Amino acid sequence: MRSFLFVPGIRPERFAKALACGADAVIVDLEDAVGAADKGPARQHVADAAAAFAASTTRVLLRINGFGTPWFEGDLSLLALGGIDGVVLPKAESATVLEALARVTTKPILPIVESALGVWQVLEVAKGPGVERLIFGSVDFELDLDCSGTWEALLYARSQIVLASRVAGLLAPVDGVTVALDDAAQLATDASRGRSLGFGGKLCIHPKQVAQVNAAFSPSEEELAKAREVIEAFERAGGGAVSVDGRMVDLPILLKARRQLAVVGCESSGEEGRVVTGSDCADEPRIS
C-alpha cells in the first residue's frame, strides 16, 4: 500500500479510471471535494458504484464527512456496502470518534491527523479501536497551525505521526498530498523525503502522480542489491559485526536488509508478528 488516490464522490465518471490507474488504493471522497448541495448525490454515486468497487482488485476506501458535521451519520450507512474496504476519517483528534465508528463497522479505519490537537494527541488516535494506519493531512494542518507547507515547518508533525504509529503497532502512515500537479521533481522529492522519515505511502490527487509514488515507496534495485550484499557478508562472516563497503554492519543493519528483501517477497525477515510496510515485487503478488 503505497499510493492512495483521491477521487471526488460527485464525479462517478472518474471512478473507473481511478481504479485502473495503478493506485494501491482509491479514496472516494465525500468530504472536501463535495460541496454541501452535492452530499446526497455523491452518496448515491457511491452506492451505484459499489458492485464495480467490489469487482476491482484495487482497494476502495471511503472518506466520510467529519464527526460533528450534518453528514457524518448519514455517511455511515455506506460503510456496509460490499465494495467499500475501509473508511478514512477526517479531523481525527481523539479516540472518542474512533470508538463510535468502531461500533458501526469492523472495516479498517484510516484516521487523518490534520490539526494541532490531532498531532498533539496522535498516540491516542493511533491506539483507537479499528485503526489500521494514520494519514497526515498536511494542507489542513498547515491551515490550522497557520504555518507554511515547507519540510521544516512540518517536520515535527510528520516525525511525531510516524513515531506514534510505530508505538501503537500500526502500519507505516500515509503522507499528505503534493499539490503541484505538473511538477514531477517536487513530487519525487516529497515522496522520497516522506519515505525517508518512515512513511509507507502517500496521498495522490491525480492519476498521473500514482506511478511516481509507487516507485518512490518501493525498494530500488540498488537498495535490494545492497541488502543482499549485507546478508551475504554476514553469512560469510558467521555473525558478529562485519564491514561492507567501508561501513560497519551489525545486527540491526542485517535485520533491516532482511526486511527489505522480505517486503518484496524474496526472503523471510524472521520478524514474525511484526507489521511490515506493504510494497510490491516485480511479477509477484503484493504482500499486504
- Number of neighbouring beta carbons within 10 Å of residue 146: 7
208 binds a second copy (CB under 8 A): no
Question: Least distance in Å: CB of 59 to a second copy?
Answer: 21
> Is 114 annotated to bind ligand?
yes
240 binds a second copy (CB under 8 A): yes
Range 167-196, binding a second copy (CB under 8 A): 167, 172, 177, 179-183, 193, 195-196
Which residue, chain included where needed, has cell 511490515? 276
CA 240 → CA 156, 228, 234, 251, 260, distances in Å? Answer: 35, 17, 8, 7, 20
Residues 64 and 88: their CA atoms lie apart, in Å, by 6
132 binds a second copy (CB under 8 A): no
Exactly one of 106, 256, 268, 270 binds a second copy (CB under 8 A); which one? 256
- Interface segment toward a second copy; rule CB under 8 A; list 79-87, 105-113, 114-122, 224-232: 114-122
16 binds a second copy (CB under 8 A): no
226 binds a second copy (CB under 8 A): no
Amino acid at 170: L
Take residue 266 and report the three cell numbers written for it: 524474496
13 binds a second copy (CB under 8 A): no
Question: Least distance in Å: CB of 201 to a second copy?
Answer: 12
Question: Least distance in Å: CB of 195 to a second copy?
Answer: 8
Q: For the window 19-48, what string marks contact with a second copy as x by the rule CB under 8 A? A: -------------xxxx-------------
Which pairs count as long-range contacts for 150-154, CB under 8 Å and 24+ apart, including other chains? 151/193
Going by their DSSP bridges, the two strands 135-136 and 109-113 should be labelled as parallel
- 8 Å CB contact between 127 and 102: no
Residues 275 and 252: their CA atoms lie apart, in Å, by 16
- 8 Å CB contact between 174 and 108: no
Query: What does the radius of gyration of the chain's CA atoms come to, in whole angstroms?
Result: 20
Binding residues for Mg(2+): 114, 140
Interacting residue ranges for a second copy, rule: CB under 8 A: 8, 10, 32-35, 116-117, 119-120, 123, 139-140, 142-148, 150-153, 155-157, 159-160, 162-164, 166-167, 172, 177, 179-183, 193, 195-198, 200, 205-206, 238-241, 243, 246-253, 255-256, 259, 277
